[in-house]
């Protein structure tokens, strides 16, 4: 099972870097140590241009942590904004995240569609993920497709994306998205962790990465 935590950091609004929740401070048990010896992320087994998922995506995060750099994530609301991220990443020769918020997902497929049950947000996020899957290989860099902050009231959106992941997994052996984020930090801690744990059990067989937010980092989130 793959999960990272977004933790509040005193005195700043920045989120903590991805962490393996099973990791310890001991260097001998550092899950990222082997990646520090790699010259390039292209040396990661299974790495390819286009959308990466599962262990390949997780190992890319561990490589970034070992090398001390962040993989930037950009919320996209149109195919043009996706293209801009891909073009910039290609010019830098570096991987990037393309992510979709609930509101941005609805915009992606058109604000004229009904969204009372988050159906437009599901459609837009999945359309965006399919678009990136089709276009990203041409840019020659690895990309992670992610869904951004999902509060408790937005769980129908999350559920719809997981259904799409499951269908994609049946056809191609990997999920549609690389990862998803649950942001239940407004809820009591035990409820937050409990709901996230239940979703992680559903996501693990699909080789999906789950980001969960613990505590309040500040700022204003979509939705």
Give buried/exposed letters for 10-22 (b at 16+ CB in 10 A, else e). Answer: eeeeebeebebee
| Whether pLDDT at 208 is above 70 | yes
| Whether pLDDT at 19 is above 60 | no
pLDDT in tens, 143-166: 999 999 999 999 999 999 999 999
Structure tokens at 65: 């942590």
- What is the rounded CA–CA span in Å between residue 143 and residue 134? 12
DSSP state of 94: -
| Whether pLDDT at 138 is above 90 | yes
The residues pairing with 97 across neighbouring beta strands, listed in sequence order, are 73, 144
Sign for the CA dihedral angle at 80, 165, 52, 96 comes to positive
% of the chain at pLDDT higher than 70: 84
- CB of 55 closer than 8 Å to CB of 207: yes
∠ CA(63), CA(168), CA(49), 5° rounding? 35
- What is the rounded CA–CA span in Å between residue 166 and residue 211? 18
* Cβ-proximal residues to 4 (8 Å cutoff; 6+ apart), any chain: 18, 19, 20, 21, 61, 209, 210, 211, 212
pTM for the whole structure: 0.87
Counts for the chain of helices (H) and strands (E), in that order: 6, 7
DSSP symbols for 160-223: HHHHHHHHHHHHHSS-SSSEEEE--TTS-HHHHHHHHHHHHHHHGGGT-EEEEE-S---S----
* Helix, strand, coil tally for the chain in percent (to 5): 50, 15, 40
| Whether pLDDT at 20 is above 50 | no
- CB of 177 closer than 8 Å to CB of 208: yes
| Whether pLDDT at 3 is above 80 | no
Of residues 96 and 7, more confidently modeled: 96
In this prediction, residue 31 carries a pLDDT of 84
pLDDT in tens, 89-123: 999 999 999 999 999 999 999 999 999 999 999 99
Residues classed as catalytic: 148
In this prediction, residue 131 carries a pLDDT of 98
| Whether pLDDT at 44 is above 50 | yes
| Whether pLDDT at 128 is above 60 | yes
* Cβ-proximal residues to 171 (8 Å cutoff; 6+ apart), any chain: none
Model confidence at 88, pLDDT cuts 50, 70, 90, reads very high
For the ranges 8-17, 143-152, 210-219, which has the lowest average pLDDT?
8-17
Q: Read off the pLDDT of each residue in 41-65 and give the average, rounded to a whole number.
A: 97
For the ranges 13-17, 31-35, 186-190, which has the lowest average pLDDT?
13-17
- CB of 179 closer than 8 Å to CB of 211: yes
Model confidence at 214, pLDDT cuts 50, 70, 90, reads confident
In this prediction, residue 35 carries a pLDDT of 95
């Amino acid at each position: 099972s793959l999960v990272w935590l977004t933790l509040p950091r005193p005195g700043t609004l920045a989120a903590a870097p991805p962490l393996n929740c099973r990791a310890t401070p001991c260097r001998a048990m550092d899950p990222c140590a082997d990646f520090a010896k790699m010259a390039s992320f292209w040396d990661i087994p299974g790495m390819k241009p286009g959308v990466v998922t599962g262990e390949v995506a997780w190992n890319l995060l561990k490589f970034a942590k070992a090398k001390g750099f962040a993989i930037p994530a950009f919320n996209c609301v149109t195919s043009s904004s996706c293209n801009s991220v891909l073009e910039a990443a290609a010019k830098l020769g570096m991987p990037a995240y393309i992510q979709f918020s609930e509101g941005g997902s609805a915009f992606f497929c058109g604000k004229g569609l009904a969204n009372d049950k988050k159906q437009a947000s599901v459609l837009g996020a999945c359309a965006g993920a399919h678009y990136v899957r089709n276009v990203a290989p041409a840019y020659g860099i690895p990309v992670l497709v992610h869904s951004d902050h999902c509060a408790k009231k937005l769980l129908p959106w999350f559920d719809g994306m997981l259904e799409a992941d499951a269908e994609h997994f049946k056809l191609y052996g990997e999920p549609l998205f690389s990862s998803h984020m649950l942001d239940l930090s407004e809820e009591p801690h035990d409820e937050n962790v409990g709901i996230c744990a239940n979703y992680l059990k559903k996501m693990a067989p699909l080789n999906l990465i789950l980001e969960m937010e613990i505590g309040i980092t500040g700022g204003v989130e979509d939705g």
